[in-house]
Amino acid sequence: MKILRLPLLGLGLAALCFSVLAAEPNANAVPYATRDNPEILVLDARDAPRGLMTASMTIPVKPGPFTFVYPKWIPGEHGPTGPLNDISQLKVSANGQALSWHRDQVDMYAFHVDVPAGTSKINVQFTVLMNAPGDVMATPNLFILNWNRVLFYQNDTNSSEVYFKPSIILPKGWSYGTALPGPQQSGNRVDFAEVPLNMLVDSPLDAGIYYKHIELWRQGDAYQMLDIFADKPQDLDIPNSLIAEYKRMTPEALALYSARHWNDYHSLLALSNAVGFQGIEHHQSSDDRAPDNFMTKPDQQLVSGDLLTHEFSHSWNGKYRRPFDLWQPNFQIPEHTELLWVYEGMNQYLGDLLSFRMGIRKPDQYPEYLAMLYAAMATEPGRKTEPLIDTTTAAPYLYEARGAYPEIRRTAGDFYTEGELLWLDVDTIIREKTHGEKSLDTFLHLYAGPPNTGPITKTYTRADIEKLLNEVAPYDWHAFFQKHVYEVADLPPTTELARAGWKLVYTAEPNAFIKAGDGLDNMNNQWYSYGIKIRKDGTVTSVREGSPAWQAGMAPGMQIKAVDGQSYSKDTLNFVLKQAEHSTTPTIFLVKQDGWYKTLDVNYHGGPRYPHLARIPDTTDMLAKIMAPQAGNGM
């Protein structure tokens, strides 16, 4: 815990006005930082390789009490995730004199100062601590800059009306990528054009010493770039065939939506095991973070090949079209997240769909992929008590949820995975009702289609979505969403499987996607057999309620030391699993938990068990139609 100390100067005077607490956040204040007199932000990133940056701001002010705030509710993160603990060594001065500052006692994102008479600007400087467990933004070779983490702005102003003039000083020899307009580089300093705060926060910047800038698409002045930064130079040796598939991203997205709402777009990709897996959407860029070998190991693309397409699709669905109450006029006003079942749920479907249509994953693999999604949701115990709408409403907290039994609690991931099943159901219903004339693509043309625009936002309500769907295919969409989203549902949407010509089966053959994921994560997924997920060292990470392992008393955190007397390994367990098919005696697991050893008798004789889809004979394969490339000539 870091304790900040108040400078002694001016403390007596300050105590009077500092006793005023921040009111409810609003966006009604007149901003002092305007286009003609912007807040100057200079970010010195030369110490980024050791996890530090220095942010220096010159903020236009007027004499008297003044409050500046650190962005709290971060678009795309859907929660109050502004990393307050990243602020250190905060200094405020005016006319060369230190000013005392005071944090608000209720709203810890707000800082109060008393601006002396005759002062029109204050200087605010702080050291940005870039790395924390689970939130690594800098390595010795690259960094990811989210501007909301390195600035303060005048309290209660509208983020589209308060202007910034941002600059960055890079480590020597580093390149950068960003959608920020008007870059002027001189040596290792880059100055950008004046932009409103909402555009600045919406325009992350990646930089690094090992990089590749690839133009994926261009038409007139509009273009899409893939800006890749890697911890290791060899991770930039990307196969040409993969680049060719990524070059189909804009053509397939334009076929899907039939217009764009960006001028130029940068997919910013950081390849770093230290940084980890993440994706954050923006109007004209995406902040994509993936493991070192994301672009060089085929299984990475099989398992997570929708990372860039998901974030790209958000430019239309999420940024251009956004739930009315998720959009807010500044970053202190809480976002309401209940409509994430559209924003994220539909986008999960569309990001996957684009990856299959582009060929990153092959269209004929989609049934196998779908089987994995469906089985995970259908066997989740938490769904018996918690409707999907509660996972979206509580998203700001569920995104941060850690700990055992995520399948009992339900997770933020559910409205993505189940959202895909939901919107595939919508797609198949439209296709069936219109005899293949229309599809979800038709809806998307109405929802986020022509005309082309720059990065603007149009909000929607649930009723807007249902009305628009009704224009495409008349149906009781309100009742449909009520059943699958707003009420407890024993099963996820299911009828889309048969409607698409497929049925769910379980066989001993591993599911290709589960197998690839297990390989990357060093896991052994026995969720559909014993009912457990196991790490390489035998540690059980989760147990399915009601499963054979659950009945035997298995718990997360137990480490399997031996199975039927033999030391645990994945191969040993697989052997025992098959042997038990021909036996009626229980399998004996020796487990260790908190220093205690015990044996558990697991009664399971069903053998290896993995989900797949099988074709229903004499039906049309709608999934093949949905996942087929749509951009002309396969381009």
- How many residues belong to the site for Zn ion (CB under 5 A)? 1
Closer residue to Zn ion, CB minimum distance, 41 or 395: 395
- Closer CB to Zn ion, 171 or 419, in the complex: 419
226 closest CA partner among 262, 179, 268, 264: 268
Alpha carbon dihedral 379, 380, 383, 388, in 10-degree steps, equals -110
What is the closest distance, in whole angstroms, from the C-beta atom of residue 347 to Zn ion in the complex?
A: 5
Hey, CA dihedral for 394, 397, 402, 403, is it positive or negative? negative
Q: Which is nearer to Zn ion, 86 or 344 (CB)?
A: 344
Minimum CB separation of residue 348 from Zn ion in Å reads 7
Mask of contacts with Zn ion, 34-73, x by CB under 5 A?
A: ----------------------------------------
Tokens representing 462 are 């649930």
Q: State which residue, 238 or 421, has the beta carbon closest to Zn ion.
A: 421
Q: How far apart are CA 75 and CA 68, in angstroms?
A: 19
Pick between residue 111 and residue 415 the one whose CB is nearest to Zn ion: 415
| Pairing label, strands 610-615, 458-460 | unpaired
DSSP letter for 491, please: S
CB of 281 to Zn ion, least distance (A): 6
Region for residue 64 given its phi and psi (left: phi exceeds 0; alpha: psi -120 to 50; beta: otherwise): left
Q: Cis peptide before 49, with omega less than 30 degrees from 0?
A: no
Sheet hosting strand 285-290, strand order edge to edge: 210-219, 222-230, 264-271, 285-290, 278-281
Min. distance of Cβ 342 from Zn ion in angstroms? Answer: 11
In this complex, which beta carbon is closest to Zn ion, that of residue 318 or of residue 501? 318
CB of 128 within 8 A of CB of 4?
A: no
53 forms bridges with which residues in the sheet?
Answer: 128
How far apart, in whole angstroms, are the C-alpha atoms of residue 414 and residue 588? 33
Looking at beta carbons only, is 344 or 425 nearer to Zn ion?
344
Q: State both tokens at 110.
A: 């707000």
Distance of closest approach, residue 345 Cβ to Zn ion, in angstroms:
9
Q: Which CB sits closer to Zn ion, 286 or 529?
A: 286
Parallel, antiparallel, or unpaired for β 264-271 and 540-543? unpaired
**Nearer Cβ to Zn ion, position 227 or 344?**
344
Largest pairwise CA distance in the chain: 89
Provide the minimum distance between the beta carbon of 417 and Zn ion in the complex, in angstroms, as a whole number.
12
Three-class SS of 285-312: EEEEEECCCCCCCHHHHHHHCCHHHHHH
- Nearest Cα to Cα of residue 160 among 22, 44, 283, 43: 283
Nearer to Zn ion, 309 or 525 (CB): 309
Closest of 515, 514, 526, 533 to residue 606, by C-alpha: 526
Tally of CA atoms within 13 A in the half-sphere of 313 that contains its CB: 27
Cβ(184)–Cβ(190) below 8 Å: yes
C-beta closer to Zn ion: residue 206 or 344: 344
User: CA-CA distance, 259 to 257, in Å (whole number)?
Assistant: 6
| Residue whose CB is less far from Zn ion, 208 or 351 | 351
Cβ at position 369, least distance to Zn ion in Å: 18
User: And the tokens for 68?
Assistant: 């500046």
CB of 77 vs Zn ion, minimal distance in Å: 10
The CB-of-235 to Zn ion minimum distance in angstroms stands at 24
Q: Output the smallest distance, CB 473 to Zn ion, in A.
A: 26
- State in angstroms the smallest separation of the CB of 418 from Zn ion: 14
Q: What is the distance between the alpha carbons of residues 413 and 310, in angstroms, rounded to a whole number?
A: 14
Measured CA to CA, the distance from residue 205 to residue 227 in angstroms comes to 10
Instruction: Tell me which H or E stretch contains 206.
Output: strand 205-208
Please, what is the minimum distance in Å from the beta carbon of residue 592 to Zn ion? 39
What distance, in Å, lies between the first and last C-alpha atoms of the chain?
54
Minimum CB separation of residue 338 from Zn ion in Å reads 16
* 479: number of Cβ within 10 Å: 10
Separation between Cα atoms, residue 538 and residue 23, nearest integer Å = 52
What are residue 249's phi and psi, to 5 degrees? -65, -55
CB of 351 to Zn ion, least distance (A): 7
Task: Give the per-residue contact string, 363-382, with Zn ion (x = CB under 5 A; - = no).
Answer: --------------------
Site for Zn ion in 317-346 (CB under 5 A): 344
Residue 397 or 597: which CB sits closer to Zn ion? Answer: 397
Site string for Zn ion, 166-205 (x = CB under 5 A): ----------------------------------------
* Nearer CB in complex with Zn ion: 71/75: 75
d(CA 98, CA 9): 8
Residue, CB closest to Zn ion: 344
List residues binding Zn ion (CB under 5 A).
Answer: 344
